[in-house]
Structure 1
Amino acid sequence: MALRPQSPKSDSDKKAERDAAQQDVFMREVDDALRQDQMMGMFRRYGVPVLGLAAAVLLGLGGYLWWQNSQTQAAEERGEKLVMALDHLEAGNLATADKQLAPIAEDGAGASATSAKLARAGIALQQNRREEAIRLYAEVADDSDAPQPFRDLATIREIAAGFDKMKPQEVVDRLKPLAVPGNPWFGPAGELVGIAYLKLGKEDLAGPLFAKIARDEDSPDSLRARTRQMAGLLGVDAIDDPEEVAGDATEAAEPAQQ
Protein backbone atom coordinates (compact mmCIF):
# COMPACT_ATOMS: atom_id res chain seq x y z
CA MET A 1 0.00 0.00 0.00
CA ALA A 2 1.53 3.25 -1.13
CA LEU A 3 1.97 6.12 1.36
CA ARG A 4 0.31 9.35 0.61
CA PRO A 5 2.80 12.10 0.03
CA GLN A 6 2.91 14.73 2.78
CA SER A 7 1.91 18.17 1.75
CA PRO A 8 4.61 20.80 2.18
CA LYS A 9 4.33 23.00 5.30
CA SER A 10 3.04 26.41 4.79
CA ASP A 11 4.95 29.50 5.90
CA SER A 12 2.49 30.04 8.74
CA ASP A 13 3.09 26.49 10.02
CA LYS A 14 6.85 26.97 9.92
CA LYS A 15 6.55 30.28 11.76
CA ALA A 16 4.37 28.65 14.42
CA GLU A 17 6.97 25.92 14.96
CA ARG A 18 9.78 28.50 15.32
CA ASP A 19 7.71 30.51 17.77
CA ALA A 20 7.00 27.38 19.81
CA ALA A 21 10.70 26.43 19.91
CA GLN A 22 11.70 29.94 20.95
CA GLN A 23 8.99 29.95 23.62
CA ASP A 24 10.30 26.62 24.95
CA VAL A 25 13.88 27.96 25.15
CA PHE A 26 12.64 31.14 26.83
CA MET A 27 10.66 29.18 29.43
CA ARG A 28 13.69 27.03 30.21
CA GLU A 29 15.82 30.13 30.69
CA VAL A 30 13.16 31.67 32.92
CA ASP A 31 12.89 28.44 34.90
CA ASP A 32 16.69 28.28 35.36
CA ALA A 33 16.77 31.93 36.41
CA LEU A 34 13.95 31.31 38.85
CA ARG A 35 15.83 28.39 40.40
CA GLN A 36 18.94 30.54 40.74
CA ASP A 37 16.89 33.31 42.37
CA GLN A 38 15.38 30.79 44.76
CA MET A 39 18.81 29.41 45.63
CA MET A 40 20.17 32.91 46.23
CA GLY A 41 17.15 33.75 48.35
CA MET A 42 17.59 30.60 50.41
CA PHE A 43 21.30 31.35 50.81
CA ARG A 44 20.56 34.91 51.91
CA ARG A 45 17.95 33.64 54.33
CA TYR A 46 19.63 30.53 55.68
CA GLY A 47 23.18 30.49 54.37
CA VAL A 48 24.62 33.19 56.62
CA PRO A 49 23.12 31.75 59.83
CA VAL A 50 24.26 28.25 58.84
CA LEU A 51 27.78 29.46 58.11
CA GLY A 52 27.74 31.41 61.36
CA LEU A 53 26.66 28.31 63.26
CA ALA A 54 29.36 26.23 61.59
CA ALA A 55 31.96 28.85 62.45
CA ALA A 56 30.73 28.94 66.04
CA VAL A 57 30.98 25.14 66.28
CA LEU A 58 34.51 25.19 64.90
CA LEU A 59 35.52 28.00 67.25
CA GLY A 60 33.93 26.19 70.18
CA LEU A 61 35.70 22.94 69.31
CA GLY A 62 38.99 24.78 68.95
CA GLY A 63 38.43 26.54 72.26
CA TYR A 64 37.60 23.25 74.00
CA LEU A 65 40.70 21.55 72.63
CA TRP A 66 42.83 24.50 73.74
CA TRP A 67 41.23 24.42 77.20
CA GLN A 68 41.70 20.66 77.48
CA ASN A 69 45.35 20.96 76.51
CA SER A 70 45.85 23.80 79.01
CA GLN A 71 44.21 21.74 81.76
CA THR A 72 46.45 18.77 80.98
CA GLN A 73 49.57 20.92 81.05
CA ALA A 74 48.49 22.56 84.32
CA ALA A 75 47.83 19.16 85.91
CA GLU A 76 51.27 17.93 84.82
CA GLU A 77 52.91 21.02 86.30
CA ARG A 78 51.04 20.57 89.59
CA GLY A 79 52.09 16.93 89.67
CA GLU A 80 55.75 17.81 89.18
CA LYS A 81 55.61 20.47 91.91
CA LEU A 82 53.89 18.02 94.25
CA VAL A 83 56.61 15.42 93.73
CA MET A 84 59.31 18.01 94.48
CA ALA A 85 57.51 19.10 97.66
CA LEU A 86 57.09 15.49 98.83
CA ASP A 87 60.81 14.91 98.24
CA HIS A 88 61.53 17.76 100.67
CA LEU A 89 59.02 16.30 103.11
CA GLU A 90 60.67 12.88 102.96
CA ALA A 91 64.05 14.53 103.56
CA GLY A 92 62.69 16.21 106.68
CA ASN A 93 62.62 19.74 105.25
CA LEU A 94 59.19 20.48 106.68
CA ALA A 95 59.21 24.26 106.24
CA THR A 96 60.32 24.05 102.59
CA ALA A 97 57.83 21.29 101.84
CA ASP A 98 54.97 23.20 103.46
CA LYS A 99 55.82 26.35 101.52
CA GLN A 100 55.81 24.46 98.20
CA LEU A 101 52.64 22.54 99.06
CA ALA A 102 50.61 25.63 99.98
CA PRO A 103 49.90 26.94 96.42
CA ILE A 104 49.09 23.43 95.19
CA ALA A 105 46.64 22.88 98.04
CA GLU A 106 45.04 26.30 97.58
CA ASP A 107 44.50 25.64 93.86
CA GLY A 108 41.65 23.37 94.91
CA ALA A 109 41.59 21.25 91.73
CA GLY A 110 42.13 17.52 91.39
CA ALA A 111 43.97 14.85 93.31
CA SER A 112 47.15 16.95 93.47
CA ALA A 113 45.42 19.60 95.58
CA THR A 114 43.90 16.94 97.84
CA SER A 115 47.25 15.21 98.31
CA ALA A 116 48.90 18.56 99.07
CA LYS A 117 46.29 19.32 101.76
CA LEU A 118 46.78 15.94 103.39
CA ALA A 119 50.55 16.43 103.38
CA ARG A 120 50.24 19.93 104.85
CA ALA A 121 47.96 18.59 107.58
CA GLY A 122 50.57 15.97 108.44
CA ILE A 123 53.26 18.66 108.62
CA ALA A 124 51.05 20.77 110.88
CA LEU A 125 50.67 17.81 113.26
CA GLN A 126 54.42 17.27 113.37
CA GLN A 127 54.89 20.95 114.17
CA ASN A 128 52.24 20.82 116.94
CA ARG A 129 49.80 22.98 114.98
CA ARG A 130 46.93 20.64 115.80
CA GLU A 131 44.02 22.99 115.09
CA GLU A 132 45.34 23.79 111.61
CA ALA A 133 45.83 20.09 110.93
CA ILE A 134 42.26 19.32 111.98
CA ARG A 135 40.97 22.12 109.74
CA LEU A 136 42.87 20.81 106.70
CA TYR A 137 41.73 17.23 107.30
CA ALA A 138 38.14 18.44 107.66
CA GLU A 139 38.35 20.31 104.34
CA VAL A 140 39.40 17.13 102.54
CA ALA A 141 36.81 15.00 104.35
CA ASP A 142 34.03 17.41 103.32
CA ASP A 143 35.20 17.79 99.70
CA SER A 144 32.68 15.92 97.54
CA ASP A 145 35.02 16.19 94.53
CA ALA A 146 37.93 14.48 96.30
CA PRO A 147 38.52 10.72 95.77
CA GLN A 148 36.66 8.71 98.40
CA PRO A 149 39.76 6.93 99.80
CA PHE A 150 41.32 10.35 100.46
CA ARG A 151 38.14 11.55 102.17
CA ASP A 152 38.02 8.44 104.36
CA LEU A 153 41.68 8.85 105.34
CA ALA A 154 41.13 12.53 106.13
CA THR A 155 38.12 11.65 108.30
CA ILE A 156 40.15 9.17 110.34
CA ARG A 157 43.08 11.59 110.72
CA GLU A 158 40.77 14.46 111.65
CA ILE A 159 39.08 12.42 114.38
CA ALA A 160 42.36 10.98 115.65
CA ALA A 161 43.82 14.49 115.94
CA GLY A 162 40.77 15.87 117.74
CA PHE A 163 39.71 12.71 119.60
CA ASP A 164 40.28 14.10 123.10
CA LYS A 165 37.92 17.02 122.46
CA MET A 166 35.20 15.02 120.74
CA LYS A 167 32.19 13.30 122.25
CA PRO A 168 32.60 9.50 122.10
CA GLN A 169 29.24 9.04 120.39
CA GLU A 170 30.27 11.48 117.64
CA VAL A 171 33.38 9.38 117.03
CA VAL A 172 31.24 6.26 116.74
CA ASP A 173 28.71 7.90 114.42
CA ARG A 174 31.35 9.21 112.03
CA LEU A 175 33.67 6.20 111.92
CA LYS A 176 31.29 3.25 112.30
CA PRO A 177 30.70 3.02 108.50
CA LEU A 178 34.47 2.53 108.06
CA ALA A 179 34.94 0.23 111.06
CA VAL A 180 33.71 -2.91 109.33
CA PRO A 181 35.74 -5.94 108.16
CA GLY A 182 36.68 -5.68 104.51
CA ASN A 183 36.91 -1.89 104.52
CA PRO A 184 40.47 -0.68 103.77
CA TRP A 185 40.35 1.52 106.89
CA PHE A 186 38.82 -1.12 109.17
CA GLY A 187 41.87 -1.31 111.47
CA PRO A 188 42.53 2.35 112.33
CA ALA A 189 38.83 3.31 112.24
CA GLY A 190 37.86 0.29 114.33
CA GLU A 191 40.48 1.04 116.98
CA LEU A 192 39.14 4.58 117.45
CA VAL A 193 35.56 3.29 117.59
CA GLY A 194 36.61 0.67 120.16
CA ILE A 195 38.18 3.31 122.39
CA ALA A 196 35.05 5.45 122.02
CA TYR A 197 32.97 2.43 123.10
CA LEU A 198 35.13 2.15 126.23
CA LYS A 199 34.49 5.82 127.03
CA LEU A 200 30.77 5.16 126.64
CA GLY A 201 31.02 2.19 129.01
CA LYS A 202 30.17 -0.27 126.24
CA GLU A 203 32.84 -2.89 126.90
CA ASP A 204 30.58 -5.56 125.42
CA LEU A 205 30.95 -3.81 122.04
CA ALA A 206 34.59 -2.78 122.38
CA GLY A 207 36.01 -6.24 123.19
CA PRO A 208 34.64 -8.12 120.14
CA LEU A 209 35.61 -5.22 117.86
CA PHE A 210 39.20 -5.28 119.13
CA ALA A 211 39.25 -9.05 118.59
CA LYS A 212 38.10 -8.68 114.98
CA ILE A 213 40.87 -6.17 114.29
CA ALA A 214 43.42 -8.50 115.92
CA ARG A 215 42.37 -11.27 113.51
CA ASP A 216 42.34 -8.99 110.46
CA GLU A 217 45.35 -9.97 108.34
CA ASP A 218 45.11 -6.75 106.32
CA SER A 219 45.70 -4.57 109.38
CA PRO A 220 49.27 -3.60 110.39
CA ASP A 221 50.96 -6.02 112.81
CA SER A 222 51.49 -3.31 115.42
CA LEU A 223 47.78 -2.47 115.38
CA ARG A 224 46.81 -6.15 115.59
CA ALA A 225 49.10 -6.60 118.60
CA ARG A 226 47.58 -3.60 120.40
CA THR A 227 43.99 -4.63 119.78
CA ARG A 228 44.77 -8.24 120.77
CA GLN A 229 45.98 -6.98 124.14
CA MET A 230 42.92 -4.74 124.52
CA ALA A 231 40.60 -7.65 123.69
CA GLY A 232 42.38 -9.82 126.26
CA LEU A 233 42.04 -7.18 128.96
CA LEU A 234 38.31 -7.09 128.23
CA GLY A 235 38.03 -10.87 128.52
CA VAL A 236 37.69 -11.59 124.80
CA ASP A 237 39.94 -14.26 123.30
CA ALA A 238 41.60 -12.93 120.14
CA ILE A 239 44.37 -15.55 119.92
CA ASP A 240 44.10 -17.89 116.92
CA ASP A 241 47.81 -18.67 116.51
CA PRO A 242 49.88 -18.83 119.75
CA GLU A 243 53.15 -18.84 117.80
CA GLU A 244 52.17 -15.61 116.05
CA VAL A 245 51.38 -14.00 119.39
CA ALA A 246 54.72 -15.15 120.81
CA GLY A 247 56.46 -13.64 117.78
CA ASP A 248 54.71 -10.31 118.37
CA ALA A 249 55.77 -10.36 122.03
CA THR A 250 59.39 -11.09 121.07
CA GLU A 251 59.45 -8.23 118.55
CA ALA A 252 57.96 -5.88 121.13
CA ALA A 253 60.55 -6.89 123.73
CA GLU A 254 63.62 -6.61 121.48
CA PRO A 255 63.69 -2.77 121.26
CA ALA A 256 63.43 -2.52 125.04
CA GLN A 257 66.52 -4.73 125.49
CA GLN A 258 68.67 -2.67 123.11
Structure 2
Amino acid sequence: MNTPSAAERMPALYLSHGAPPLADDALWPGQLAAWSASLPRPRAILMVSAHWEEAPLALGATEATPLIHDFWGFPERYYRVRYDAPGAPGLADSVRKLLRGAGTPVQDVPDRGLDHGAYVPLVEMFPDADIPVLQVSIPTLDPQKLMEIGRRLAPLRDEGVLIVGSGFFTHNLAALRYAGVPGWSAEFDDWGRAALAAADVDALLDFEHKAPAGQLAHPRTEHFAPLFVTLGAAEGELAAGRSVIDGFWMGLAKRSVQFG
Protein backbone atom coordinates (compact mmCIF):
# COMPACT_ATOMS: atom_id res chain seq x y z
CA MET A 1 0.00 0.00 0.00
CA ASN A 2 1.36 3.43 -0.90
CA THR A 3 1.66 5.98 1.88
CA PRO A 4 -0.45 9.11 1.24
CA SER A 5 0.39 12.59 2.43
CA ALA A 6 -0.25 13.57 6.04
CA ALA A 7 -3.38 15.40 4.94
CA GLU A 8 -4.88 12.08 3.90
CA ARG A 9 -4.50 10.41 7.30
CA MET A 10 -7.75 8.65 8.06
CA PRO A 11 -9.76 9.05 11.25
CA ALA A 12 -10.66 6.11 13.49
CA LEU A 13 -14.34 5.37 14.08
CA TYR A 14 -16.53 3.52 16.51
CA LEU A 15 -20.07 3.08 15.26
CA SER A 16 -23.24 1.46 16.47
CA HIS A 17 -24.06 -0.83 13.58
CA GLY A 18 -27.72 -1.64 14.08
CA ALA A 19 -29.54 -4.72 12.85
CA PRO A 20 -30.70 -5.47 9.28
CA PRO A 21 -33.91 -3.37 9.73
CA LEU A 22 -31.69 -0.29 10.08
CA ALA A 23 -32.13 0.03 6.30
CA ASP A 24 -35.82 0.81 6.86
CA ASP A 25 -35.28 3.47 9.54
CA ALA A 26 -36.37 6.97 8.60
CA LEU A 27 -33.31 8.68 10.10
CA TRP A 28 -30.32 6.44 10.73
CA PRO A 29 -29.27 5.52 7.13
CA GLY A 30 -29.11 9.19 6.25
CA GLN A 31 -26.97 9.91 9.30
CA LEU A 32 -24.49 7.21 8.30
CA ALA A 33 -24.43 8.43 4.69
CA ALA A 34 -23.80 12.02 5.77
CA TRP A 35 -21.00 10.85 8.05
CA SER A 36 -19.20 8.97 5.30
CA ALA A 37 -19.62 11.91 2.93
CA SER A 38 -17.68 14.07 5.41
CA LEU A 39 -14.70 11.68 5.52
CA PRO A 40 -11.68 11.51 3.22
CA ARG A 41 -12.09 8.62 0.81
CA PRO A 42 -10.41 5.55 2.31
CA ARG A 43 -8.03 3.39 0.32
CA ALA A 44 -9.29 0.44 2.36
CA ILE A 45 -11.50 -0.24 5.37
CA LEU A 46 -10.55 -2.38 8.36
CA MET A 47 -13.66 -3.58 10.21
CA VAL A 48 -13.65 -4.93 13.76
CA SER A 49 -17.16 -6.27 14.35
CA ALA A 50 -18.76 -7.39 17.60
CA HIS A 51 -20.12 -10.40 15.73
CA TRP A 52 -16.81 -12.15 15.21
CA GLU A 53 -15.08 -13.35 18.34
CA GLU A 54 -12.20 -15.68 17.55
CA ALA A 55 -8.76 -16.22 19.01
CA PRO A 56 -6.06 -15.88 17.99
CA LEU A 57 -6.95 -12.80 16.00
CA ALA A 58 -8.28 -13.88 12.61
CA LEU A 59 -8.30 -12.21 9.22
CA GLY A 60 -11.37 -12.74 7.08
CA ALA A 61 -11.68 -13.29 3.36
CA THR A 62 -9.40 -11.30 1.08
CA GLU A 63 -11.31 -12.13 -2.11
CA ALA A 64 -14.99 -12.18 -3.04
CA THR A 65 -16.88 -14.29 -0.50
CA PRO A 66 -20.63 -14.36 0.29
CA LEU A 67 -21.87 -12.33 3.22
CA ILE A 68 -22.70 -14.00 6.51
CA HIS A 69 -26.36 -13.36 7.29
CA ASP A 70 -25.89 -14.10 10.98
CA PHE A 71 -29.44 -13.40 12.18
CA TRP A 72 -32.71 -15.27 12.35
CA GLY A 73 -36.41 -14.62 12.00
CA PHE A 74 -36.25 -11.59 9.70
CA PRO A 75 -38.15 -11.07 6.42
CA GLU A 76 -36.60 -12.74 3.39
CA ARG A 77 -35.47 -9.46 1.80
CA TYR A 78 -32.80 -9.01 4.49
CA TYR A 79 -31.18 -12.28 3.45
CA ARG A 80 -30.90 -11.12 -0.16
CA VAL A 81 -28.72 -8.11 0.68
CA ARG A 82 -25.32 -8.15 -1.04
CA TYR A 83 -22.17 -6.12 -0.52
CA ASP A 84 -19.60 -7.11 -3.09
CA ALA A 85 -16.67 -5.02 -1.91
CA PRO A 86 -13.21 -5.98 -3.17
CA GLY A 87 -11.00 -7.96 -0.85
CA ALA A 88 -7.94 -6.34 0.68
CA PRO A 89 -5.00 -8.77 0.50
CA GLY A 90 -2.46 -5.94 0.77
CA LEU A 91 -4.12 -4.69 3.95
CA ALA A 92 -4.15 -8.24 5.32
CA ASP A 93 -0.37 -8.41 4.75
CA SER A 94 0.09 -5.13 6.60
CA VAL A 95 -2.02 -6.32 9.54
CA ARG A 96 0.00 -9.54 9.77
CA LYS A 97 3.28 -7.60 9.84
CA LEU A 98 2.10 -5.11 12.45
CA LEU A 99 0.67 -7.69 14.81
CA ARG A 100 3.09 -10.56 14.36
CA GLY A 101 5.96 -8.13 14.79
CA ALA A 102 4.53 -7.35 18.20
CA GLY A 103 4.28 -11.01 19.11
CA THR A 104 0.53 -11.28 18.48
CA PRO A 105 -0.49 -14.49 16.70
CA VAL A 106 -2.61 -14.08 13.58
CA GLN A 107 -4.60 -16.68 11.66
CA ASP A 108 -6.37 -16.61 8.31
CA VAL A 109 -9.98 -17.67 7.77
CA PRO A 110 -10.25 -17.22 3.99
CA ASP A 111 -13.87 -18.36 3.67
CA ARG A 112 -15.18 -15.94 6.32
CA GLY A 113 -17.31 -13.23 4.66
CA LEU A 114 -18.48 -9.96 6.19
CA ASP A 115 -21.07 -10.34 8.94
CA HIS A 116 -23.92 -7.92 9.57
CA GLY A 117 -21.85 -5.89 12.03
CA ALA A 118 -19.65 -5.01 9.06
CA TYR A 119 -21.89 -4.86 6.02
CA VAL A 120 -25.05 -3.30 7.50
CA PRO A 121 -23.35 0.06 8.16
CA LEU A 122 -21.15 -0.18 5.06
CA VAL A 123 -24.19 -0.52 2.81
CA GLU A 124 -25.36 2.87 4.07
CA MET A 125 -21.96 4.57 4.25
CA PHE A 126 -20.26 3.29 1.09
CA PRO A 127 -23.12 1.89 -1.02
CA ASP A 128 -21.05 1.51 -4.19
CA ALA A 129 -19.04 -1.26 -2.49
CA ASP A 130 -15.95 -0.15 -4.40
CA ILE A 131 -13.53 0.20 -1.45
CA PRO A 132 -11.56 -2.89 -0.35
CA VAL A 133 -12.71 -4.21 3.04
CA LEU A 134 -10.98 -6.52 5.49
CA GLN A 135 -12.70 -7.80 8.61
CA VAL A 136 -10.70 -8.99 11.61
CA SER A 137 -11.94 -10.84 14.66
CA ILE A 138 -12.07 -9.77 18.29
CA PRO A 139 -9.61 -12.16 19.96
CA THR A 140 -10.43 -11.12 23.53
CA LEU A 141 -12.92 -9.01 25.47
CA ASP A 142 -10.17 -7.55 27.67
CA PRO A 143 -10.29 -3.77 27.04
CA GLN A 144 -6.58 -3.27 27.76
CA LYS A 145 -5.55 -5.94 25.27
CA LEU A 146 -7.91 -4.56 22.65
CA MET A 147 -6.44 -1.08 23.09
CA GLU A 148 -2.99 -2.53 22.51
CA ILE A 149 -4.20 -4.16 19.28
CA GLY A 150 -5.55 -0.77 18.22
CA ARG A 151 -2.19 0.87 18.96
CA ARG A 152 -0.43 -1.70 16.79
CA LEU A 153 -2.86 -1.09 13.94
CA ALA A 154 -2.71 2.72 14.18
CA PRO A 155 0.02 3.15 11.50
CA LEU A 156 -2.49 1.91 8.92
CA ARG A 157 -4.30 5.23 9.27
CA ASP A 158 -1.33 6.91 7.60
CA GLU A 159 -1.75 4.53 4.67
CA GLY A 160 -5.31 5.66 4.02
CA VAL A 161 -7.00 2.86 5.97
CA LEU A 162 -10.24 3.66 7.79
CA ILE A 163 -10.26 1.69 11.05
CA VAL A 164 -13.82 1.02 12.21
CA GLY A 165 -14.86 -0.58 15.48
CA SER A 166 -18.45 -1.76 14.96
CA GLY A 167 -20.62 -2.52 17.99
CA PHE A 168 -23.54 -0.90 19.80
CA PHE A 169 -23.16 1.70 22.54
CA THR A 170 -25.74 -0.11 24.65
CA HIS A 171 -26.74 -3.66 23.83
CA ASN A 172 -29.27 -5.66 25.82
CA LEU A 173 -31.50 -7.56 23.41
CA ALA A 174 -33.63 -8.92 26.26
CA ALA A 175 -34.73 -5.36 27.00
CA LEU A 176 -35.49 -4.01 23.51
CA ARG A 177 -38.32 -1.51 23.34
CA TYR A 178 -40.46 -0.48 20.42
CA ALA A 179 -41.29 2.81 22.16
CA GLY A 180 -39.42 4.88 24.71
CA VAL A 181 -35.90 4.67 26.10
CA PRO A 182 -35.20 2.62 29.23
CA GLY A 183 -33.49 4.50 32.03
CA TRP A 184 -30.46 2.20 32.10
CA SER A 185 -29.75 2.85 28.41
CA ALA A 186 -30.05 6.62 28.78
CA GLU A 187 -27.89 6.65 31.91
CA PHE A 188 -25.12 4.58 30.37
CA ASP A 189 -25.19 6.63 27.17
CA ASP A 190 -24.90 9.90 29.09
CA TRP A 191 -22.06 8.51 31.20
CA GLY A 192 -20.26 7.28 28.09
CA ARG A 193 -20.75 10.61 26.32
CA ALA A 194 -19.17 12.45 29.24
CA ALA A 195 -16.30 9.95 29.58
CA LEU A 196 -15.49 10.24 25.88
CA ALA A 197 -15.69 14.04 25.97
CA ALA A 198 -13.26 14.06 28.90
CA ALA A 199 -11.00 11.46 27.23
CA ASP A 200 -11.31 9.52 30.49
CA VAL A 201 -9.81 6.28 29.24
CA ASP A 202 -9.42 4.84 32.74
CA ALA A 203 -13.16 5.14 33.35
CA LEU A 204 -13.99 3.64 29.96
CA LEU A 205 -11.65 0.72 30.54
CA ASP A 206 -13.47 -0.03 33.80
CA PHE A 207 -16.95 0.67 32.42
CA GLU A 208 -18.48 -2.48 33.90
CA HIS A 209 -17.89 -1.10 37.39
CA LYS A 210 -17.79 2.68 36.93
CA ALA A 211 -20.70 3.24 34.55
CA PRO A 212 -24.25 3.44 35.84
CA ALA A 213 -26.24 0.37 34.80
CA GLY A 214 -23.13 -1.12 33.20
CA GLN A 215 -24.37 -4.68 33.66
CA LEU A 216 -27.75 -3.86 32.10
CA ALA A 217 -26.27 -1.87 29.23
CA HIS A 218 -23.90 -4.72 28.35
CA PRO A 219 -24.81 -8.13 29.85
CA ARG A 220 -22.00 -9.35 27.58
CA THR A 221 -19.41 -6.82 26.56
CA GLU A 222 -18.73 -7.81 22.94
CA HIS A 223 -20.65 -4.82 21.53
CA PHE A 224 -18.64 -2.31 23.57
CA ALA A 225 -15.34 -4.13 22.96
CA PRO A 226 -14.66 -2.70 19.45
CA LEU A 227 -14.57 0.78 21.00
CA PHE A 228 -11.26 -0.10 22.65
CA VAL A 229 -9.62 -1.04 19.36
CA THR A 230 -10.69 2.37 18.08
CA LEU A 231 -9.40 4.12 21.21
CA GLY A 232 -6.04 2.41 20.82
CA ALA A 233 -5.83 3.37 17.15
CA ALA A 234 -6.66 6.98 18.06
CA GLU A 235 -4.41 7.35 21.11
CA GLY A 236 -3.08 10.89 21.29
CA GLU A 237 -6.21 12.30 19.62
CA LEU A 238 -8.84 11.23 22.13
CA ALA A 239 -9.42 14.72 23.50
CA ALA A 240 -10.47 15.83 20.01
CA GLY A 241 -12.99 13.01 19.58
CA ARG A 242 -16.60 13.83 18.85
CA SER A 243 -19.93 12.09 18.78
CA VAL A 244 -21.23 12.13 15.22
CA ILE A 245 -24.45 10.19 15.80
CA ASP A 246 -26.47 9.94 19.00
CA GLY A 247 -30.01 9.09 20.01
CA PHE A 248 -31.66 5.71 20.41
CA TRP A 249 -33.06 2.89 18.30
CA MET A 250 -35.47 0.44 19.91
CA GLY A 251 -34.22 1.71 23.26
CA LEU A 252 -30.53 1.11 22.50
CA ALA A 253 -28.01 3.96 22.32
CA LYS A 254 -26.67 4.36 18.81
CA ARG A 255 -23.86 6.77 19.80
CA SER A 256 -21.08 6.71 17.23
CA VAL A 257 -17.81 8.59 17.51
CA GLN A 258 -14.90 9.83 15.40
CA PHE A 259 -11.31 10.53 16.34
CA GLY A 260 -9.14 12.48 13.96
TM over 0.5: no
More strand by share: 2
| Structure with greater helix percent | 1
Larger Rg over CA atoms: 1
Higher RCO (Cα < 8 Å, 6 or more apart)? 2
After TM superposition, the score normalised by the length of structure 2 is 0.22
